[in-house]
Amino acid sequence: MRLAGKTALITGARGGIGRAIVARFLREGADVYAADLSEDGSLPGQVSEGRFIKLDVTCEADAIAAMARVGDEAGKLDILVNAAGIEIEKTIEETSLEEWNRSFAVNVTGTFLACKYALPLLRAAAKDGITSSVINFGSYDGFIADPGLAAYCATKGAVHALTRAMACDHGPEGIRVNAICPGYIDTPMMQSFLTGDGVGGDGKSVETMKQAMRDVHPMRTYGTPEDIANLVTWLASDEARYAAGQLWVLDGGLSAQVQQMKL
Ligand SMILES: NC(=O)c1ccc[n+]([C@@H]2O[C@H](COP(=O)([O-])OP(=O)(O)OC[C@H]3O[C@@H](n4cnc5c(N)ncnc54)[C@H](O)[C@@H]3O)[C@@H](O)[C@H]2O)c1
């Protein structure tokens, strides 16, 4: 068990990726706090593991209360995973100011608040050469753009910059800060990107769109939440003691490839 004795808090823990991380961390022996807006998150009715904490990442009081509870119960936090996120599928012309602000509130301010109030507990865990680990969620969309995701792309670029800045500030305290930048991962967020109502935006079936999505990858597949949980687990573990300040792209080679001509 690679995370035995470690305490972890995951935001967005009832989402597609969050649930896979919670399940894997429990198998690796961690004491897991699963934080989300609700017990069901983005997957109503599915089995929920880990100790639930209601945490709206945009709410400062919630962040303070969540970290106070972890402090009272565990006295330290070895691993913070900031997986809460939303995606608004619009160009900037279509995006209202409220939607723009909401995107930044969840994806960027949410990461800021959780990190800010977790820092004393992360410091308490970083002792005797053992590091603590913060894992933020960026996206390959923070490097290159999907059309029609303007605010989302901007928030993920901000998370990337925040990750590097935090790694510089808190590395000397034994706190490693990294971001994972997934490509397409099969979760409710990806389903919503493909279609909101069972039929793709241009009238094609979801399966047709999924196949087209597989085909654009050099590896000819999109990712699963478990693929992401594998990398999160390594970054959270002591094996990753030298890994800090990096943006770890996990996208089946998608962003390595120049767009191909359609003949
Ligand atoms: N799925 C992908 O293809 C993909 C690609 C790149 C990056 N990501 C990133 O990975 C992370 C997880 O995404 P996912 O695919 O699991 O999405 P998801 O929609 O399945 O889960 C997101 C979770 O965040 C929670 N959440 C939303 N607003 C919140 C708030 N204010 N406070 C607390 N929790 C809140 C939701 O309840 C949900 O459970 C996100 O940051 C996302 O941007 C996903």
**The whole model's pTM is what?**
0.97
The two tokens of residue 203 are 């009238």
Q: Is the CB of 193 under 6 A from ligand 1?
A: no
- The pLDDT of residue 202 is 62
Q: What ligand 1 atom has the least distance to the C-alpha of 57? A: 32
Contact 20, 233 (CB under 8 A): no
Q: Is the CB of 152 under 6 A from ligand 1?
A: no
Contact 26, 49 (CB under 8 A): yes
Which residue from 155, 161, 72, 159 is spatially nearest to 121, judged by alpha carbons? 72
Ligand 1 centre distance from Cα of residue 263 (Å):
36
Distances in Å between the alpha carbon of 30 and those of 6, 23, 78, 216? 5, 10, 10, 37
Question: How far is it, in rounded angstroms, from Cα 101 to Cα 170?
Answer: 28
222: annotated active-site residue: no
Which domains can be identified in the chain, with CATH numbers? 7-184+224-254 (3.40.50.720)
Distances in Å between the alpha carbon of 67 and those of 14, 127, 231? 18, 19, 24
Q: Is the CB of 227 under 6 A from ligand 1?
A: no
Tell me which H or E stretch contains 153.
helix 150-170
pLDDT in tens, the chain (263 residues): 999 999 999 999 999 999 999 999 999 999 999 999 999 999 999 988 999 999 999 999 999 999 999 999 999 999 999 999 999 999 999 999 999 999 999 999 999 999 999 999 999 999 999 999 999 999 999 999 999 999 999 999 999 999 999 999 999 999 999 999 999 999 999 988 887 654 455 667 888 889 999 999 999 999 999 999 999 999 999 999 999 999 999 999 999 999 878 77
Question: How far is it, in rounded angstroms, from Cα 197 to Cα 181?
Answer: 27
Question: Which residue of the set 33, 152, 184, 222 is catalytic?
Answer: 152
Nearest CA to ligand 1 atom 21: 15
Ligand 1 centre distance from Cα of residue 18 (Å):
8
Distances in Å between the alpha carbon of 80 and those of 83, 134, 185, 204? 9, 5, 21, 39
